[in-house]
Chains A and B, each alone.
Chain A
């Protein structure tokens, strides 16, 4: 199993955000998490990426615990372990959060050059491949402000893919797109899944869920 999630619960003070969520994902599976706004979809995704902490539950990525509940207490992996585990799970933010002072290519190169898991030549080659595959060839030296919403999103996907994650999370991927680019993004997501990446999508867009297929979880209060 690529991802195993057990009994996740989270609340802010007295307000319960979500409780007792469990699911598992295999390589190349797609999971859509649906729900109205304010029902904790994004928070759930942020917990999977360790941007927020859980109150209860365990998350296991590629057989390594990001966090594990022991006797009602959630124990997180050490900083050193987290750094490694986190590279297996990528996140495409709703607002993309590209680095505005860097070109498309520089956005892609920053993290792998810092982490140094590959040689510089291999990193450059990988970036070029992703840029080509995501149809960004003409934009590789442009800055984010010069891109359309769809292009920014593809840069964000490419940037996440540079670390070769086994899981890729999308927060509301259709929110900034028109119908045409929506078709593009679902195609890209399906291709990523076909390559073996497990995909988690948080969305309120039923048409998109239909289009993309895969497992569906609906969050309700």
Chain B
């Protein structure tokens, strides 16, 4: 039982990191990604291009590398005398990365809305902002929910990458205990914790999706 005496408190500590990174990333990335999607679709070619490059870099390189880059990178720039703290670096890297993926999902969602919806708003003299917030976005959210759900689940597991900056999440906790007691049990345990989190999220996502099933 000694294993669990060490494992459970450390896992609870680790959960704070896992869930903290997860929630902070989602809460910041989702609104940000809608703005980025709009910029990506901007008629201004320069803005669209710059946004495209940002998305390309974020999707084209590993999140692990991005974490290292944002945390360690500044130490290598001479004379700048500035660097992000561990937790700052983690949130910035996760937000930048997930915003890029979510923005592409929202871009697809906005693009899938019938042009007639925009035109109906236009002939009713609605402003562009009002049109987007009240007519377009609610329909987009319904359409993109399954894809967003996918990203949300992936994010839970991606939080384990924070170990590279020496931050102890639940996987790191399992690893420490496993090393101490030379046993594989902590890994099985932490696997079950991930599955539990995913089960709860799946249920929440299903509920949220069915909230939008009142219309077709």
Bound-state Cα–Cα, A115 to B134, Å: 14
- Tally of chain B residues near chain A (CB < 8 A): 21
Asked whether A91 and B123 contact (CB < 8 A) given A97-B117, A101-B142, A101-B215, the answer is yes
Asked whether A93 and B125 contact (CB < 8 A) given A100-B215, A145-B215, the answer is no
Residue numbers in A under 8 Å from B214 (CB-CB): 143
A115 touches B125 (CB 8 A): yes
Residue numbers in A under 8 Å from B135 (CB-CB): 99, 110
Residue numbers in A under 8 Å from B120 (CB-CB): 93, 97-99
Is B119 interfacial (CB 8 A cutoff)? yes
- Tally of chain A residues near chain B (CB < 8 A): 26
- Which partner residue on chain B sits nearest A87 by CB separation? B125
Instruction: Identify which of A83, A98, A100, A160 gathers the most chain B CB atoms within 10 Å of its CB.
Output: A100
Residue numbers in B under 8 Å from A86 (CB-CB): 123, 125
Asked whether A114 and B130 contact (CB < 8 A) given A49-B123, A51-B122, A163-B125, the answer is yes
Residue numbers in B under 8 Å from A159 (CB-CB): 124
Bound-state Cα–Cα, A111 to B130, Å: 10
B114 touches A97 (CB 8 A): yes
A-B residue pairs in contact (CB < 8 Å), sample of 5: A99-B135, A100-B139, A101-B142, A111-B125, A145-B215
What distance in Å separates the Cβ of B141 from its nearest Cβ neighbour in chain A?
10
Chain A residues within CB distance 8 Å of chain B: 49-51, 83, 86-87, 89-91, 93, 95, 97-101, 110-111, 114-115, 143-145, 159-160, 163
What distance in Å separates the Cβ of B137 from its nearest Cβ neighbour in chain A?
10
Asked whether A83 and B122 contact (CB < 8 A) given A143-B215, A145-B215, the answer is no
A90 touches B215 (CB 8 A): no
Bound-state Cα–Cα, A160 to B119, Å: 13
Q: Of A95, A110, A144, A145, which one neighbours B124 at CB under 8 angstroms?
A: A110
B138 touches A101 (CB 8 A): yes
- Which partner residue on chain A sits nearest B134 by CB separation? A110
